[in-house]
A = this chain, B = another copy of it.
Amino acid sequence: MINPWEVKGEIDYHKLVKEFGLKEINNSKLDHLFFKRNIIYAHRDLDRILERIKQKKPFAMMTGLMPSGKFHLGHMMVAQQMIFWQKMGAKIYITVADVESYNARGQSIKESRKIAEEEYIKNYIALGLKPKNCEIYFQSERSQNAKISNTYYRLQNLLARHITYNEFKGIYGEVSPGKLMSSLLQASDMLHPMLLDNVPVIVPVGIDQDPHLRLARDVSKRIKEYKFHTLASTYHKFMPGLGGGKMSSSDPNSYIALTDTPEEAERKIKKYAFSGGQVTLEEHRKLGGNPDVDVSFQYLKLFFEENDKKLETINKNYKSGKLLTGELKQILIEKIKKFLKEHNIKRNKVNIKKFLKR
């Protein structure tokens, strides 16, 4: 999806929650690291989804993938949420943003398909996404049957009436035909499952995607032809790149890809992972490290140390100076190497055809 602005530097999430009119998530009982560790920190109308789960009623989760570059740990954050919601009973809709990719970057539809299948979808499956209750489609070809195609594209076309030029400009900065088309298609991506299945939809995003969500929410209320559920959303924290800043597809040293070999991952962590430790051994022993900015610690917290007690021990020892940066990195390296090795085996066994019935 489009980035309406760059996310940079340290982020005051409480402030963002206020500014964006979100609700904070605290002490969530949802059984996933991201909820338990407050990595998913805010929401809009999550309650409605939880109510559906309680009542054992169907609902859907929708997300998109931009077919570009390598599939890395940043993408895994969304993938894990897909898998979580699928386990919770959601039907999963995943759109491959090949139209957006074409209009924004001139990437051919064919190239997008290749990247989506090889890099993204295969990794989703290897991570645990199941074909049942899962629909992956391409924006350029919302196929299967005419009813689905027509619903999807008709909605895109009709939504146009309900957004003004100035509103669009306010969100996207500029108005180009390509961008306008893509954003309306994205709104249809999020809303059309409600028409197909008459279910509420939840979209997990980073805060930078919120303007798109708000647009879709607002527009869905203006269009009188259809009665939509209110679009629900959750907001996960920004996952730092290896250097502590943003992951960049054009800089392979800013991320660990799920196709990196264990050795590559080790090299990258040793060389590039931003450390919260002190400059000298003496200072570190004396003053301790800062796990909150330490990328290795953050990665353990996000994915690789699921045991809360163990994570807390690492946290404590790093803060006290007992655990050195090199040792902390080594903990992560062992975990990631094991993960990449196992993941690679799983990915090689993936049968993508089950997911892309056309």
Q: Does A9 contact B (CB under 8 A)?
A: no
Min CB distance A353 to B, Å, is 18
The 5 sampled A-B contact pairs (Cβ below 8 Å) are: A102-B158, A145-B145, A149-B149, A149-B150, A180-B181
Which range holds the interface residue count of chain A? 35 or more
User: Which of A54-62, A71-79, A171-179 contacts its partner?
Assistant: A171-179
Are A165 and B157 in contact (CB-based, < 8 A)? no
Question: A152–B153 Cα gap in the complex (Å)?
Answer: 10
Determine the distance from Cα of A102 to Cα of B156 in the docked complex, in whole angstroms: 12
Contact indicator A139/B157 (Cβ below 8 Å): yes
Is residue A103 within 8 Å, beta carbon to beta carbon, of the partner chain? yes
When chains A and B are docked, how far (Å) is the Cα of A142 from the Cα of B151?
10
- Chain A, residues 138-151, CB within 8 Å of chain B (1/0): the string is 01111111101110
Number of copies: 2
Chain B residue, CB-CB nearest to A158: B102
Q: A108-B225, A146-B145 are in contact. Are A185 and B164 (CB under 8 A)?
A: no
**CB-based contact A177/B180 at 8 Å:** yes
Do residues A106 and B140 form an inter-chain contact, with CB atoms below 8 A?
Answer: no
Q: Report the bound CA distance from A319 to B185 in whole Å.
A: 60
A168 — which chain B residues lie within 8 A by C-beta?
A: 177
Residues of chain B contacted by A181 (CB below 8 angstroms): 156-157, 160, 180-181, 184
In the assembled complex, which residues on chain B have CB atoms less than 8 Å from the CB atom of A143? 146, 150
**In the bound complex, CA of A144 to CA of B150 (Å):** 10
Encode A239-275 as 1/0 by CB contact (under 8 A) with B: 0000000000000000000000000000000000000
Nearest B-chain residue to A143, judged by Cβ: B146
With A149-B150, A181-B184, A184-B181 as contacts: A158 and B140 at CB distance below 8 Å:
yes
